[in-house]
Every structure is written in structure tokens, then in C-alpha cells.
């Protein structure tokens, strides 16, 4: 079996950790109540919902869906950095910087 095509618990935990770290590191740029802030809240809600889904799928042993969900979560956070709604603080390992 090719391990590159297998989602193991350790790999999944690694990506869950990366996404958690990204979510904690990225800080909002728009001022509260502005249109940018409203868009950011939608984006972060999507990230948080996908992270929650990933944890749920992991708990029930569906590592493939968990892996997909955590990658979606990270992509929402990364999009916030790319769109300059979140500050990635120059971290080009966690984010695709603008």
C-alpha cells in the first residue's frame, strides 16, 4: 500500500494542529462593524464549522472526510489572509501571503 494515499491518524492530527495554529495566529484587519468585518465573520464561521466537522469525522473514524474538512477549514483561513481580511504576520508556512 502506498502511504502517500493513506490518511493516518497522525497525519490528520498534524493538519488539525496546523489549522488550529493558523486560526490562532491570524488576526482580524477590518474594524468591527465594517463591511470587511462582516465578510470576515462569515469566512471565519466557515473555517470553524469545517474544523468542527473534521473533528467529528475523526471521532467516528472517517479519516478521509476529516482530512477533506480540515483542508477546507484551513483554506478559508488562508483566503482571509490572501484577501487581507486577516493578518498572517508574515508566516509563509501557514499561509499563502498576499
Question: For residue range 2-56, what is the model confidence (pLDDT) as tens digits?
Answer: 667 789 999 999 999 999 999 999 999 999 999 999 999 999 999 999 999 999 9
Confidence of residue 1 (pLDDT cuts 50, 70, 90): low
Range 75-79, long-range pairs (CB < 8 A, 24+ positions): 76/43, 76/44, 76/46, 76/47, 76/50, 77/19, 77/22, 77/23, 77/26, 77/43, 77/44, 77/47, 78/22, 79/43
Query: Does the pLDDT value for residue 57 go beyond 60?
Result: yes
The answer, yes or no, to whether residue 64 has pLDDT greater than 80, is yes
Cell of 1: 500500500
Confidence check: pLDDT of 89 > 90: yes
Q: Where are the domains of the chain?
A: 27-98
27-98 is classed in which CATH architecture? Up-down Bundle (1.20)
pTM for this entry: 0.91
Q: What is the pLDDT of residue 4?
A: 72
Amino acid at each position: 500500500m502506498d502511504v502517500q494515499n493513506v490518511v493516518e491518524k497522525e497525519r490528520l492530527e498534524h493538519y488539525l494542529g496546523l489549522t488550529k495554529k493558523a486560526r490562532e495566529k491570524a488576526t482580524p484587519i477590518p474594524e468591527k462593524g465594517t463591511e470587511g468585518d462582516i465578510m470576515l465573520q462569515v469566512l471565519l464561521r466557515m473555517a470553524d464549522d469545517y474544523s468542527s466537522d473534521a473533528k467529528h469525522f475523526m471521532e467516528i473514524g472517517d479519516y478521509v472526510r476529516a482530512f477533506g474538512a480540515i483542508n477546507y477549514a484551513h483554506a478559508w483561513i488562508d483566503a482571509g489572509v490572501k484577501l487581507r481580511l486577516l493578518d498572517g504576520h508574515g508566516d509563509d508556512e501557514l499561509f499563502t501571503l498576499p
